[in-house]
């Protein structure tokens, strides 16, 4: 048998091959010839060394199958959600994938909260939002991978519940692989290694079936591009706990799912703090979120919109007519979406929502507005097919 058969990319978990550059796990033949356990596939290599990602070519069903197998080999599931894209990352329809295993909701990236907000308020808000879900979560906690103190509650949970084989499940980019790294104490391959130049120890990479059960001696790659992990990867932590990382699910109804990896990484709430801006809108005035969405005040009086999105999203107040032109033909200074995504995205449609004072209108994979100053009807213009939800205000009244 070929000595390279069964070698897997330690970044994404895909089996290495040089058959087709279209398939995950591809490496050029000369690299495959000298590959070892630290050799990254071409996609992971480009993410790590050039900060560039090719689009993911996995189907949703392939990912769901991998998640289901990953969960089946665990005793408990951590369902990771992003509080800044709750609509886009909390999907109760994924719960059947966990079988009868208890699941815990981990509200990650808590370091990104504006300093005036408290993490227990966010946990209470999530508790309220998931109330009545069957099966109910075994617990709901906040966490973050940046500050050590944000991991205290997870560590207590693992100890008290004696959890020992845990699957990390959730939408793309919520921080599953980051959590695996900080909780297991096992990190990825050192930068500069891999892709045929590393000096592998040759341990740990078994020949598990596709999408299931690979045992790795290093943790999967972390990156701000959605869809970094593409296979299920099992890592044994320094304390003996087994961690099962699974590929992120891209439900396809988030704006961030419908754009290229570069635009997707800009929209995701990673690394950078949440951006918040306040606009007083006259009747008929709109605020645009980059060239992607516009919220128009249709009330007869001035209304205040608190606007929240990732750092790269440019907000702009304008008339509703000009906003519509912006979305159809975004000027270059709006930066997002990029030229390629502009031609690819579905045409914008406008829908009207009745919002109460203090409520939010959230657009999955983009951000949200929170209404102040009285009830209002808000017209939202954004590409067709995006999940939009009216909801209780995430940050409450102030
Ligand atoms: N600010 C902040 N950023 C985080 C946190 N956890 C993860 N990130 C960032 O979020 C991005 C995605 O992290 P990953 O761990 O690769 O996410 P993932 O869920 O494994 O993503 P996929 O493999 O694509 O499904 C990276 O840029 C991380 O640095 C956190 O607690 N706080
Ligand atoms: Mg990952
Ligand atoms: Zn890879
Ligand atoms: Zn783009």
What is the pLDDT tens value at each position of the chain, 398 positions in all? 454 567 898 888 889 999 988 888 999 998 898 888 889 999 999 988 888 888 877 889 999 999 999 999 999 999 999 999 999 999 999 999 999 999 999 999 999 988 777 899 999 999 999 999 999 999 999 999 999 999 999 999 999 999 999 999 999 999 999 999 999 998 876 544 333 323 232 333 332 333 444 566 778 888 888 888 888 989 999 899 999 999 999 989 999 999 998 898 888 876 667 899 999 999 999 999 999 999 999 999 999 999 999 988 999 999 999 999 989 888 888 889 999 998 889 889 999 999 999 999 999 999 999 999 999 999 999 999 999 999 999 997 54
The pLDDT of residue 5 is 64
What distances in angstroms separate CA 44 from CA 30, 191, 266, one per listed residue?
A: 17, 12, 19
Residue nearest to atom 7 of ligand 1 (CA): 175
Cβ atoms of 73 and 244 within 8 Å: the answer is yes
Among 9, 66, 122, 173, the mutation site with the greatest number of ligand 1 atoms within 8 A of its Cβ is 173
If we measure between CA atoms, which residue out of 336, 330, 335 comes closest to residue 318?
330
Among 221, 230, 270, the mutation site with the greatest number of ligand 1 atoms within 8 A of its Cβ is 270
Tokens of residue 89, six digits = 């990352």
Residue 174 alpha carbon to ligand 2 centre in Å = 8
| 3-state helix/strand/coil string of the chain | CCCCCCCECCCCCCECECCCCCCCCECCHHHHHCCCCCCCCHHHHHHHHHCCCCCCCCCHHHHHHHHHHHHHCCCEEEEEECHHHHHHHCCHHHHHHHCCCCEEEEECCHHHCCCCCCHHHHHHHHHHHHCCCCCCCCEEEECCCCCHHHHHHHHHHHHHCCCCEEEEEEECCCCHHHHHHHHHCCCCCCCCCCCCCCCCCCCCCCCCCCCCCEEECCCCCCCCCCCCCCCCEEEECCCCCEEEECCCECCCCCHHHCCCHHHHHHHCCCCCCCEEEEEEECCCEEEEECCCEEEEECCCCCEEEEEEECCCCCEEEEEHHHHHHHHHCCCHHHCCCCHHHHHHCCCEEEEEEEECCCEEEEECCCEEEEEECCCEEEEEEEECCCCEEEEECCCCCC
Which of 2.60.40.650, 3.40.50.300, 3.40.718.10, 3.40.228.10 would CATH assign to domain 60-245? 3.40.50.300
The pLDDT of residue 222 is 87
Beta bridge partners of 142: 107
Ligand 1 residue neighbourhood (C-beta within 6 Å): 108-109, 111-112, 144-146, 172-178, 222-224, 226-229, 247-248, 270-271
What distances in angstroms separate CA 25 from CA 57, 197, 286, 290, one per listed residue?
A: 11, 17, 45, 34
What distances in angstroms separate CA 73 from CA 142, 243, 369, one per listed residue?
A: 25, 10, 40
Cβ atoms of 374 and 299 within 8 Å: the answer is yes
Burial string for 76-103 (b: 16+ CB within 10 Å, else e) reads bbbbbbbbbbbbbbbbeebbebbeebeb
Enter the pTM of the model: 0.90
The pLDDT of residue 51 is 85
The span from the CA of 163 to the CA of 180, in Å, is 14
Among 85, 145, 187, 249, the mutation site with the greatest number of ligand 1 atoms within 8 A of its Cβ is 145
The span from the CA of 212 to the CA of 50, in Å, is 29
Residue nearest to atom 10 of ligand 1 (CA): 270
Residue 256 alpha carbon to ligand 2 centre in Å = 16
> What φ, ψ does residue 141 adopt, rounded to 5°?
-140, 155
CATH 3.40.50.300 domain span(s) along the chain: 60-245
Which numbered ligand comes closest to the C-alpha of 14? 3
Residue 305 alpha carbon to ligand 1 centre in Å = 29
């Amino acid at each position: 048998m070929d000595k390279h058969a069964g070698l897997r990319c330690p970044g994404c978990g895909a089996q290495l091959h040089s058959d087709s550059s279209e398939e995950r796990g591809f490496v050029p033949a000369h690299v495959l010839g000298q590959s070892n356990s630290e050799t990254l596939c071409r996609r992971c290599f480009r993410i790590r060394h050039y900060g560039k990602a090719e689009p993911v070519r996995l189907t949703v069903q392939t990912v769901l199958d991998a998640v289901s197998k990953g969960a089946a080999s665990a005793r408990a599931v951590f369902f990771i959600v992003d509080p800044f894209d709750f609509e886009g990352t909390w999907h109760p329809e994924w719960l059947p994938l966990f079988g009868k295993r208890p699941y815990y909701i981990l509200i990650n990236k808590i370091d990104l909260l504006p300093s005036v907000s408290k993490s227990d308020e966010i946990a209470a808000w999530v508790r309220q939002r998931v109330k009545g879900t069957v099966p109910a979560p075994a617990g709901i906690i906040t966490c973050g991978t940046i500050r050590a103190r944000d991991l205290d509650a997870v560590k207590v949970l693992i100890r008290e519940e004696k959890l020992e084989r845990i699957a990390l499940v959730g939408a793309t980019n919520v921080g599953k692989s980051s959590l695996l790294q900080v909780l297991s104490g096992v990190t990825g391959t050192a930068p500069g290694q891999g892709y045929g130049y590393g000096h592998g120890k040759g341990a740990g990479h078994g020949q598990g079936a596709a999408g299931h059960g690979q045992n790795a001696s290093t943790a999967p790659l972390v990156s701000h591009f959605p869809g970094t992990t593409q296979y299920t990867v099992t890592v044994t932590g320094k304390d003996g706990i087994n961690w099962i990382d699974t590929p992120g699910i891209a439900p396809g109804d988030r704006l961030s799912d419908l754009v290229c990896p570069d635009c997707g990484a800009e929209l995701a709430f990673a690394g950078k703090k949440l951006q918040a801006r306040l606009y007083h809108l006259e009747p008929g005035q709109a605020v645009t979120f980059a060239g992607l969405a516009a919220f128009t005040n249709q009330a007869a009086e001035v209304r205040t919109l608190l606007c929240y999105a990732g750092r790269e999203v440019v907000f702009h107040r304008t008339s509703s007519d000009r906003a519509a032109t912006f979305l159809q033909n975004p000027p270059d200074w709006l930066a997002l979406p990029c030229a390629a995504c502009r031609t690819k995205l579905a045409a914008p449609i406008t829908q009207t929502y009745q919002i109460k004072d203090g409520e939010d209108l959230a657009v999955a994979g983009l951000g949200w507005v929170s209404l102040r100053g009285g009830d209002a009807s808000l017209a939202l213009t954004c590409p067709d097919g995006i999940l939009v939800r009216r909801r209780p205000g995430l940050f409450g009244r102030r």
